[in-house]
Structure 1
Amino acid sequence: MDNPARKPIFGGMEHDSDILIVGGGLNGPATALALAHAGLTSTVIDALPAAPRQDQDFDGRSYALALASVRLLRRIGVWDHVADHSHPMLEIKVTDGRAGETPSPFLMHFDHAEIEEGPMGHMVEDRYLRRALMDAMEANPRITVLNGETVVAQDTDGAARVTLASGRVLTGSLLIGCDGRRSGTAERAGIKRTGWDYGQTALVCAIQHEKPHNGVAHQFFLPPGPLAILPLPGNRSSIVWSESAANAAAFQALSDDDYLTVLRPRFGDFLGDISLAGKRFTYPLSLTVADSFIADRLALVGDAAHGMHPIAGQGLNAGLRDIGALAQVLGEARARGEDVASILVLRRYQEWRRFDTASLAMATDLSNRLFSSDNPLLRMARDIGMGAINATPRLRRTFIREAAGLTGDLPALMR
């Protein structure tokens, strides 16, 4: 086995790590752990200090992790530390209607029992997943973490170099941007983006309710945008509620009691009385895809490469697919003695992931446009379509496997 503490040497030059990773949210740490699994060292540069990352208070943020994503987290040593705090998604019910009205009788109902692999996914709170990723990085000798450091300049001529606000210069073979939709890594590399604003904002929070949810996730399509109700441990659910930007701003400005008054007719009473659990957040919704996922000695991962509508809850899952694919491509290149940062190697990653992410982005965009409309003809067409899918076992299983992240060319860490 390689000495994990070695100083990697490329072209006679000693580097701080094989890989420099910009961004310390969720994708950055997961990338570092997946690369460590492939035998590569990395330095993670996080603009936030460590203390906020270690906060254990529940703030209402949660993630829907597809089964394939759970597999990856298990392989990189994270899942066992969050499993006891997660809740499986056993069923998904998709309905269409208006606030305060009975949903359309045409619905889609997906049950995990129709596939052999198990639950379609799990819900995990941000506080547990974030902390498990941090702990796993700290315990891994192949990973160095720099908290409270910001990249102000980068250069990829012959090697990857970044200059930090503190004046420190780091070198590696490859630079990976995990720094979100407004990626400074992509911008400094001259990578442009394609996309548009939806004029919608997601209101995100957690809800305490009287009755058990029984592991059922609900997607309720309303004219202003979808409302997702996702099962958390106990009698709690995570809410992702899309509204027009103007309405969302007005609702977010309300007191908690008035906020709930607006939410209740949209939520319904099937889980009994509801109350807020944790903080409330808003996120403007847009579609943004980088024109290239790679450049000279540089790769983009997650939202830095693609940001999409949360209608299918696939944002983090798509990022984890990027991570699995990139780690596999780099690990295989390393095993063959190739330069892991060569453009030929990086093209393998882009060819693997670009079509899949573009297809997913377009599918979420089309779904949002189709369902965020109160046009009677569109309502009739989509209701009949949902009813037809629900009545066809083969189509239903295809959608279940899609929700579980089991379709397409899966990276080895997700198989």
Structure 2
Amino acid sequence: MATNGIKSSDVIILGGGLVGQTLALALDAHGLSCAVVDRMPAEALLDTSYDGRVSAVASASWKMLQAIGLGEALEGKGCPISTIRVSEGMEPGALDFEPAEDEGPLGIMFENRLLRATLFEAAQKAEHVALYMGRSAADVERGAGGVTVTLDDGTLLSAPLLVGAEGRNSSTREAAGLKIARWRYPHHAIVACLNHEKPHGNIAYEIFYAEGPFAILPMLGDTNGHRSALVWSVPEKDGPATLAMNERAFLAEVHKRMDGFLGEVSLAAPRSAYPLGFHNAAKITADRLALVGDSAHGMHPIAGQGLNVGFRDVAALTQVLVEGARLGMDLGDAQLMERYERWRGLDTLMVAMATDGLTRLFGVPGKTASRIRRFGLGAVGRIPPLKRKFVDEARGSSGKLPLLLQGVTV
């Protein structure tokens, strides 16, 4: 709705990545309007070139995507994860995490390019979503009466609430003065996609070496046969050299760390690398402001929970806003922001710190540390309630779940 040249909506979302677009579609499914602003042009979101980036969508997150109308568009385009196999190197005593017989898969592996394009295409068709792609916020004012955003082309937007979803270097978070705890890990993640000779059996492998975790994640096969995604954490000092290896040497190192259990391997996409770090905002709300996704938190990819924690933010914030709207409340009301803060603040911190703890625990070198870790894996396997807890965490079904993560609209 436009009034006096100002385009009004219920929510303004700065950042149109996976989390920002999902929030827009979740709000749209409940009749709330939003404006999504992102510097990236539409053509980039629809780019079909494969960069090797993938995401594990936990089963609870998948229920949310289905609930907001994305199930049909994504059905059959991801690879279900039937088992997560955790091991200390290639030593015996691997621990398998599997769902119960009456449950679906632990999650689904999707190519990021597919998720991005599907979300964007759905947002283009959504009744209550206005997209401002290739734009940025030149000025943001949060006041007692609402939020006004001036875009770099002069467009004026207004809403009761602003959501920061730009990512780990969120300018919205910085402008609001929301402090974060931040540190870097002495590792780089090498990301690649592999074709391999033997089937992966829908198993996600998390192999821990003292130098860093080595994850092999199942993907749908293409015309070349069996495929998996590789996320390999290497010491920071070795990152550039590992990325610069010729293809034959790189694949030989990969094959060695896998002990050949998937047979011969080849590259299915270009390799890339990025530094690893941790950050967590002390507060995820301010006056008429809420943070979601990487704007609020970022963690080591060791457990594949980064995107799913962002989806939890989406589900919780959507429920808070929809229930507030039904009561006739101002969507930027401090009570609603406090509820969202309580719901997500502690849960996010606990997941982030657990991930950080695993990273440090499995990074301790030496044979004694290795034996202790193998003993720990064995102990988890022998204690069903503890093992079940890990399965629930992998599925994203632990804690007080918002309705969307249960597959139910608000």
Contact 2:5 2:156 in 1 (8 A): no
Displacement of 1:125 in angstroms is 0.9
Q: Does residue 207 in structure 1 map to residue 228 in structure 2? A: no
5+ long unaligned stretches in structure 2: none
| Map of 1:116 onto structure 2 | 102
| 2:13 is aligned with 1:27 | no
| Residue-by-residue CA offset, 1:120-162 (whole Å, 9 max, x unaligned) | 1111111211111011101111000011001232110121122
1:339 maps to 2:339? no
Aligned pairs for 1:177-188 (under 5 A) are 177-188=164-175
Match of 1:381 in 2: 372
Q: Distance between the aligned counterparts of 1:336 and 1:115, measured in 2?
A: 41
Counterpart AA for 1:139: K
Range with greater deviation from structure 2 (72-81 or 26-35):
72-81
Aligned residues, how many?
401
- Partner of residue 182, structure 2: 195
The answer as to whether partners of 2:82 and 2:202 remain within 8 angstroms in 1 is yes
Q: CA deviation at 1:224?
A: 1.3
- In structure 2, the partner of 1:156 is 142
Question: Cα distance, 1:16 vs. partner?
Answer: 2.0
Q: Distance in 1 between matches of 2:264 and 2:74?
A: 29
Separation (CA, whole Å) in 2 of partners of 1:266 and 1:19: 48
1:70, 1:36 → 2: CA distance?
18
What is the CA–CA distance in structure 2 between the aligned matches of 1:59 and 1:85, rounded to whole Å?
Answer: 17
Instruction: Confirm whether residue 87 of structure 1 aligns to residue 79 of structure 2.
Output: yes
What SS does the corresponding residue of 2:177 show, helix, strand or coil?
A: coil
Matched, 1:139 2:131: no
What SS is found at the alignment partner of 1:279?
Answer: coil
Counterpart CA distance in 2 for 1:107 and 1:215 is 16
CA contact (8 A) 1:15 1:173 kept: no
Root mean square deviation, CA, Å: 1.6
Any idea what SS the aligned residue of 1:156 has? strand
Matched, 1:73 2:59: no
Aligned position for 1:362 = 353
Do 2:182 and 2:279's aligned partners in 1 also have CA atoms closer than 8 Å?
yes
Q: What is aligned with 2:274?
A: 283
TM-score by length of 2: 0.94
1:100 is matched with which residue?
A: none
Deviates more, 1:297-306 or 1:381-390: 381-390
Letter in 1 for 2:344: R
Task: Please point out which of 319, 326, 336 is paired with 1:328.
Answer: 319
Structure 1, residues 294-322: CA drift from partner, whole Å, max 9, x if none? 01111000000000011100000000000
Deviations 1:70-126 (A, max 9, x none): 0011111113212221111001110012xxxxx2222211122x2532111111111
Match of 2:284 among 293, 314, 331: 293
Q: Does 1:220 align with 2:199?
A: no
SS at match of 2:148: strand
User: Does the CA-based 8 Å contact 2:6-2:156 persist in structure 1?
Assistant: no
Q: State whether structure 2 residue 383 is matched by structure 1 residue 392.
A: yes
Q: 1:348 to 1:13 in 2, by over 3 A?
A: farther
Is this contact kept in 1: 2:14–2:163, CA < 8 A?
yes
Q: CA contact under 8 A between 1:153 and 1:188: conserved in structure 2?
A: no
| Letter matched to residue 79 of structure 1 | G
CA distance in 1, matches of 2:22, 2:228: 25
Unaligned runs of 5+ in 1: 1-5, 98-102
Secondary structure at the aligned position of 2:189 is classed as strand
Contact 1:64/1:122 (CA < 8 Å) preserved in 2?
Answer: yes
In 2, Cα distance between the equivalents of 1:13 and 1:408? Answer: 44
Show the counterpart of 2:112.
126
Quick one: distance in 2 between partners of 1:146 and 1:15? 12
